[in-house]
Structure 1
């Protein structure tokens, strides 16, 4: 089979297309013929060594993807063969991810795709959708699970609503009944956040963005805590939660303890990989329910533009992610794609 590998940390140039033996699933595993592989910032950070040092002599990257189960290991129901699935965390703690024609993963990390959901949708879920779910379910006064009506009466702020996680936050919060606000940096991104389903979009670079949210918000899914903390605290309701999953820009976070005490605020840091198996299992169940309801479409018309590369140009796909290309970067691995 064809696969992308790297043997040393570094820039996109360390990625190479190679031929490898077809992997065989072990007990409790399935082998998936990958149709589309999705790239996240975590993938290039792992490749470059920013996230963590390389754990294996050779690594096939990418956590997320979608395809068809083509064989199963011992203990897995053989009726799963032929099942369309979305794959998450394929390369987490393992040397082989979805940037290959076939990937072997634990059976629970290959989740059935509903008939109405294509492989593009499936490859765009994974890290972004599960992180968004986590951000929406950590509030002390909020729900621990998502379903229609779970966030009724709540106001959710999705910072950076044109990004993959922000896009998923908007869609999941809207599906769960929240009033959704999104902050963006310009008019083009405002169009995307609106297309994703945000009820209100605020350009944080114009005027007084806090004044545009006079009634405040209950929960903020934050992508750039250092840059946005002052605005977050200006609009956060008493007892509200800031759930931060990134600190884009790397600005130092300075915390006014007294201000947060008066607000009885909650500041929750999120990393999907250490959230625990139960939290991830609940996220998979709820995201799957939203998927069945048609609540997680992708494409520019739905607020998440797709940029595609063939497998042999995976290095260029990584460059696109690193350069901040808006939307989701996908790698087309094998046919059929639908």
Structure 2
């Protein structure tokens, strides 16, 4: 009986052309380039113009991933879209993306796992592929944060962190010949703990706020802007990313030393450096992009994967380990051979 595997056959990304440096933010938020770099590692980020939506960014990333996979849109039989910044409350942004790609009637799934959305999406795609129901799945993470940030001094602690962008991969079914050398998704592990949901969240609009989803008072209080307990997030992120990464490698039967490239979620350079320190990983093996893009949430890992391939850091056949942590709290890890 033929055994199958899930392989990442194409990678693509896209960021809007407009760059906002830390010096640009100094004029808005009463912050400094030095303060931002010391605390986050971010130097610049890309923000969309007023007419660009999340699905617009996703479209370009998906087209680039399809080109990299040497495929056409007609080859795709499922879209998994991870985002916390949808085009509209409903329907899901995956449907808008599907229409722009011109591939009606295929399966479309939107997921809301924030910074871990891409790894959740990879895990879901892997399961669908291995079940035999689908052959080529687009997994895309895309965010437009800039339209939802408080760009005044009141919002500087969070507003400096986020950028806009998209990353996508094609996950395809292939025959498994050699478990040791075949390019394939080896494992994924997904976790969540809702007890910490309000440590990193946007309170409004919502249906748990009384008689109205949104009110003038909520807007005046800034409840529609992201809120974060930074210290709590840092402590849990470093602990959980290290734990799940170690577990994924152990289950895959590989040591951390055998991993060629580590692709971490790009929330804060200090978090990634601490995780590397906790696990004894040389920082030279950790590919970071936060300095260029800021935190693009569900897009950071595929965006980084694409950049790493273009830079010649990530090559076919390499062993990759990835981990992410974000709102929910949610966290995840994965090991694959590129």
Larger proportion of helix: 2
**Same structural fold, with TM-score higher than 0.5 when normalized by the shorter chain:** no
TM-score, normalisation: structure 2: 0.24
TM-score, normalized by length of structure 1? 0.24
